[in-house]
Structure 1
Amino acid sequence: MKTDILGIQFDNLTREEAKEAGAVLLRSPEFHYAVTPNPEFILAADKDLEFQKILNQADLVLPDGIGVVYSAKILGTPLKGRVAGFDFACDMLDVLDEMGGRLYLLGAKPGVAEEAGRRILESHPNIVLCGTHDGYFKDSDPVAREVAQAQPDLLFVCLGAPKQEKWISRFGLITGAKLAIGLGGALDVFAGNVERAPEKWQKAGLEWAYRLKKEPKRIGRMAKLPLVLVKAAGRRVTGKGRQGVL
C-alpha cells in the first residue's frame, strides 16, 4: 500500500512490517532495492525528476525522518510511523544472519567500511562479509564489477543522496545482490565514528535535534527541513496535496 507524500510514494508500514517485507526481498532470487527518503530527499526530488523516479520505482520506500511523518499528517494521509534507515539496516542484518548470507559494504571514508564490517560481524557471526569499498572513487564500473565478483546477498550503498540511489539504479542489477539499500552515513554509525541519538530522543522524534547538538555545522541542512512542512501545508490549503492512498 503506497501513500503519496509530496510526490514520493511511501510504503505505509510499521518497522516490523518493513522488516517482514525486506526479508521477503532478501530471500528472493531477483534484485531489489530499498530507499529511505527524509525531508531533504523530498525537496531534492521535487527539483530532480530522475531522482524522484528512482525513489518511486524502489521496491520499498520507507519514511526516514519525523518531517515526513508530520507532512503526511498535514496532508491528511497519515503514515503508521517513521522507519529509520539505520533501524531497517539493522533488521536486514538480523535476517541475513539467520540466512548465513553475504554482505558487501560500499561507501564512507577509507577504512570506515572495514571497521563497520568488523563490528557487524561481532554481533552477527553467521554473516559472511564478502567485501568492502570506500566511497571515494571516480569510476563506478570497476567498483560495480568488484561487488558482483563478491556475490553479495545484501548490499549497503552509503554515498549520500541522490548519488547512492542513482548508483543503485544504474549498477544494482549488475552487482547480483538480492537487496541493495541506500543508507547515507550509516557506516560511520556502525563503525562507531558517529553516535546515534539515545532511544528517548528517537521515540520523541528528536533525533535530528540530537544530531544538530552534536554537529552544529549541520544547521544549514536542518534549516531546510521546515520547508517540507510548509510545502505540505500549502498543498493541503490548495487541495493539491491530498492525493490519497494507492
Structure 2
Amino acid sequence: MRNSVSILGVPFSKLTLEETTLYLAEQIRKERSGLFHLITANPEITLASQSDELLQEIIRSADLVVPDGIGIVLAAKRKGEPIPERVTGYDLLLRLLEKGNERGWSFYFLGTDEQTSRQAAEKISWTYPEVKLAGRHHGFFSPEEEPGIIAEIQRSKPDVLILAMGAPYSDKWLHRHRQELSGVKLVFGVGGSLDVISGKVKPAPAMWKKLNLEWAHRLLFAPVAKGQKSRWRRQAALPKFVYRTIIRK
C-alpha cells in the first residue's frame, strides 16, 4: 500500500481506524479473485519477523498491515513518517461488526476455547442482530478435525473470517490454507478480542486506553491461554524493539 511507513521492514498503514474500516468495507463489497488478508502487527510481531523467514513472507504477501501498538506509532514518529493512531484488532473488529450489522455481513469465528467462543457468539448475535453468524469453532482442534473445519468455512463463505488463535499462529495457519479459503472475502487475527467480548476478560478502563497502557492492563490482568508464552516473557521483546526503532539511529 502506498500510504505506509516501513518499520524494521514491515509496511505499516498510515490509515486511521475509521479510514481502515471504510477501506475494508470496500474490499468486502467488491468482487475479488481471492481473500483480503489483514495483519494487525504489534512490536512483538514486528521484532519476531526479523528472525522468522516464514513470518516475513506472510507479511510481504499480506494485503494490509495495521499498527496494533503504541510502540509502532512512536517508531513511525521517530522516523519522521508519523502514523495518526493505533488500529487495534479489537477496535477494528467492533467497527466491522457495526458495519456488518448495517449491511448484513456474515462472520465466521475460529479460535479461543469452546466456552469463550460460544459466549462471544451469543453476545455478538444479541448486540448485532443483523450480523449473520456463518459459523464458529474453538481453536483447540486436532489435525484430524482441521479438514472438516476448513470444509465448513468453504461451505459458509463468510464475508469476514475472524481468527482468534494468537499471533503469529493465526496468520501462519491462514498462510497454509489461503488457497482453500478463497471464498472468504476478509480475514484477520484479533488476538484475545473474543475473550473481552465474551466477558471472560474485562476491557481496559478508559484511562488506561487514553494513556496507551492497554498492553500493561493485559499484562497484569488478562489470563494466558494454554500453550502460549507468559505475557511477561513476551513483553521482554519490547525493550529490544524500542532500542532498534526509537533509540538507535
1:155 and 2:161 are equivalent in the alignment: yes
Query: Which digits, 9 at most, give the CA deviation of each residue in 1:170-228, with x for residues without a partner?
Result: 32442311111111111111111111111221121111122223249522222221211
Q: Which runs of 5+ in 2 are unaligned?
A: 224-229
Percent identity between matched residues is 38
Query: Which digits, 9 at most, give the CA deviation of each residue in 1:91-130, with x for residues without a partner?
Result: 1111111121211100001222121111011111101112
Aligned to 1:132: 136
Q: Distance in 2 between matches of 1:101 and 1:74?
A: 39
Structure 1 window deviating more from structure 2 (161-170 vs 85-94): it is: 161-170
Query: Secondary structure of 2:212's partner?
Result: coil
Q: Distance in 2 between matches of 1:201 and 1:173?
A: 40
Following TM superposition, the consecutive aligned residue runs of length 4 or more in structure 1 with deviations greater than 4 angstroms are: none
Say whether the 8 Å CA contact 2:98–2:128 is kept in structure 1. yes
Query: Secondary structure of 1:125's partner?
Result: coil
1:206 to 200, 213, 223: 213
1:5 and 2:7 are equivalent in the alignment: yes
Q: Distance in 2 between matches of 1:204 and 1:150?
A: 41
Q: How many residues align?
A: 236
Q: Distance in 1 between matches of 2:142 and 2:52?
A: 22
Aligned to 1:243: none
Root-mean-square deviation (Å): 1.7
- CA apart distance, 1:61: 0.9
1:77 and 2:81 are equivalent in the alignment: yes
Say whether the 8 Å CA contact 1:28–1:178 is kept in structure 2. no
1:92 to 82, 91, 96: 96
TM-score, structure 1 normalization:
0.90
Q: Distance in 2 between matches of 1:198 and 1:155?
A: 28
TM-score, structure 2 normalization:
0.89
1:145 and 2:147 are equivalent in the alignment: no
Q: Distance in 2 between matches of 1:62 and 1:223?
A: 22
Q: Distance in 2 between matches of 1:165 and 1:177?
A: 15
Query: Secondary structure of 2:122's partner?
Result: helix
- CA apart distance, 1:138: 2.9
Say whether the 8 Å CA contact 1:96–1:154 is kept in structure 2. no
Aligned to 2:57: 53
Q: Which runs of 5+ in 1 are unaligned?
A: 238-246
Aligned to 2:175: 169
Say whether the 8 Å CA contact 2:201–2:222 is kept in structure 1. no
Q: Distance in 1 between matches of 2:233 and 2:131?
A: 38
Aligned to 1:230: 243
